[in-house]
Amino acid sequence: MYIVTGATGHTGSQIVKKLITLVPASKVGVSVRDPQKARDLEAAGVRVRRGDFAEPDSLRHAFEGATQVLIVSTNGGDAEGQHRNAIEAARAAGAQRILYTSHMGVRATSPYLPMRFHAATEELLSGCGVRWISLRNGFYSESALFALGEALTTGVIELPADGKVNWTARADLAEANAIILADEQYPVGPTAPLTSPEVLDFSDIAKIASDLLGRPVTRSVPSDAELRTKMGARRIPDAYVDILFGMFEATRDGNFAAIDPTLTQLLGRPPTTMRSFLAQTLKG
Ligand SMILES: NC(=O)c1ccc[n+]([C@@H]2O[C@H](COP(=O)([O-])OP(=O)(O)OC[C@H]3O[C@@H](n4cnc5c(N)ncnc54)[C@H](OP(=O)(O)O)[C@@H]3O)[C@@H](O)[C@H]2O)c1
């Protein structure tokens, strides 16, 4: 049985929707924190069980009968400990393969905190004794939108100095992740970076947004100190601000600038561009 975690989240739900077009729904199970939120999947014939990474006993039940487990990474709290519990539960359930949603920018020394969690989890996978695949997803285009905040309304993108990033639509990545999960012959280990064919910085995004909106959107790069003061005034928590600055430092180091054709090959079509992603978002 294929078990997918996080199936009530954005990526996990789209992975399962694609997966049940590739394998029978009766062979798919989801491990979710709140089964009530997965009623649509149950109606589609998917086995729904409660599983919380913070409660290993719940995972024993949720992963029962697993041959393949796809772990959707978490962000908050003790992400590394949660991933360790999920890997151990998959191994104990007898899974023959464990897949994990990692990131193209994974690095143990990255200034961007989530990349260090991913690196620690890849390390756990490499020692777990089960075949594993780390799905090195591109940077979600949705994260660029999140970083933009109110900028499309105000017309000024005010963010730290940045480098080029390969922004990749979450829906495309979920589709590709499901294709890899369904393919039991897919090469083990880290995948190539699953990316689009273009890299952009926020000046490029400002130009695209100006075109789409028909009014100027400009890029402003205040000093880090000035930005920190402004964010503090908006009561943005320091921990979040530190993570954001770490992300921009990693972009300047080129950690998210790889371009690779694997995603295009898996999808059998060009991935969604940032222009078309923004156009769809603006249409609402
Ligand atoms: N590639 C990128 O650029 C990028 C960008 C942002 C995030 N990410 C990573 O990709 C992951 C998926 O992204 P997303 O947009 O789908 O996020 P999301 O919608 O927040 O989904 C995260 C999922 O993890 C589940 N989860 C959280 N804590 C858990 C726990 N203790 N035990 C079991 N499940 C737990 C959540 O369960 P509930 O549904 O119950 O809340 C949710 O389904 C994120 O969590 C993050 O690690 C990647």
Residue pLDDT, tens place only, 33-66: 999 999 999 999 999 999 999 999 999 999 999 9
Distance between Cα 82 and ligand 1 center (Å): 12
Residue 284: per-residue pLDDT = 79
* Confidence at residue 149, expressed as pLDDT on a 0 to 100 scale: 87
Region label for 214, one of left (φ > 0), alpha (ψ between -120 and 50) or beta (otherwise): left
What is the pTM (predicted TM-score) of this model? Answer: 0.97
Categorise residue 30: left if φ over 0, alpha if ψ from -120 to 50, beta otherwise: beta
Residue 170, CA distances (Å) to 53, 140, 228, 275 in order? 23, 5, 29, 15
pLDDT tens digit sequence for 13-34 = 999 999 999 999 999 999 999 9
pLDDT tens-place string over residues 129-185: 999 999 999 999 999 999 998 999 999 999 999 999 999 999 999 999 999 999 999
For residue 20 the two structure tokens come to 């049940």
CA of 174 to the centre of ligand 1 (A): 12
Q: Say what the pLDDT of residue 76 is.
A: 77
Q: Is the CB of 140 under 6 A from ligand 1?
A: yes
Determine if ligand 1 sits within 6 Å of the CB of residue 139. yes
Helix ranges (DSSP H) in 106-196: 113-126, 141-148, 151-154, 170-182
Average pLDDT, the chain: 97
What are 164's two structure tokens?
């080029």
pLDDT tens for residues 213-239? 999 999 999 999 999 999 999 899 999
Longest Cα–Cα distance of the chain, Å, equals 57
